[in-house]
Amino acid sequence: MEAGVEELMPRLLPVGDWDLAEDFDPTVPPRTPQEYLKRVQIEAARCPDVVVAKIDPRKLKKKQTVNISISGCQPAPEGYSPTLRWQQQQVANFSAVRQSLNKHRNHWRSQHLDSNVIMPKSEDEEGWKKFCLGERVYSEIDALPNNENIGIDYIKVGFPPLLSIVSRMNQATVTSVLEYLVSWFGEKKFTPELGRWLYALLACLEKPLLPEAHSLIRQLARRCSEVRVLEENKNEEQISALNLIICLVSRYFDQRDLADEPS
């Protein structure tokens, strides 16, 4: 090493002077600790002062950074803050749903899906949005033609989070789909289709949470509080659904700083 470098990086272990022999073979394992340290010193001396990494941008996944905000939720409008008893009951119900899902997961996973149920690949964001929300919500169509003779067209109205479907989703897929729907919700209105899937995906999340999931559910709770404040008609059913998601994130998944103050 150069003298200037040694001043900045002093030797922590004593290594005697080493003569770079022509027969030095780095592939031969060192026989003594001293020989190992000398080989490390030789390799370090051969490293360039500056190294530039060659990165292929195409191989980088989008949204790699996980941002965890510590900001809380907006308070519920007057008269719509849930009671503590109600929140405790929802947590108990949710816990029972999770236990039942885990207990019977293998059974539901073995059930055959209908021929029209084609689950998108984990990385297919647009495919999952259409699958969960349906063409009506995804394309923001106010109404679809009502044809009672053909039954329910799940392609148009979205597939519900059936146990036979969610039981087939591993944790990576659960987190990915949750990310897609939370991202969608960040710019769109709350709908019953969205609410059902958010509840089901939260029920499938394993604890302890991974950092990505932790960030997502906090983002979800804050978005629910924003939509709740902006709810002009004070739709009681929708307010209750938003309260439920905030309750589960804050009280079941231990994000207590996001919890609603009991009314």
Average pLDDT per block of 10 residues along the chain, 263 residues long = 47 54 62 65 64 59 51 81 94 95 91 88 94 86 53 79 93 96 93 95 94 95 92 80 96 93 74
Query: Tokens standing for 145?
Result: 């033609």
21 located within any domain: no
212 located within any domain: yes
83 located within any domain: no
What is the amino acid identity at position 262? P
Show the domain range for 155: 104-142+151-258
Query: Tokens standing for 123?
Result: 């990385």
**Are the CB atoms for 201 and 209 separated by under 8 Å?**
no
199 located within any domain: yes
Q: What is the dihedral of CA 140, 145, 147, 148, to 10 degrees?
A: 50
219 located within any domain: yes
183: CATH: 1.20.58.1070
pTM of the model: 0.70
Number of folded domains that form the chain: 1
Query: Tokens standing for 153?
Result: 């067209």
**Cis bond upstream, residue 26 (ω within 30):** no
Closest CA to 166 of 199, 215, 129: 199
Half-sphere exposure of 201 (CA within 13 A, CB side): 27
4 located within any domain: no
DSSP 224-259: HHHHHHH-SS--HHHHHHHHHHHHIIIIIS--GGGP
CA–CA distance, 199 with 253 (Å, rounded to integer)? 13
pLDDT for 149 equals 43
**Are the CB atoms for 137 and 158 separated by under 8 Å?**
yes
73 located within any domain: no
17 located within any domain: no
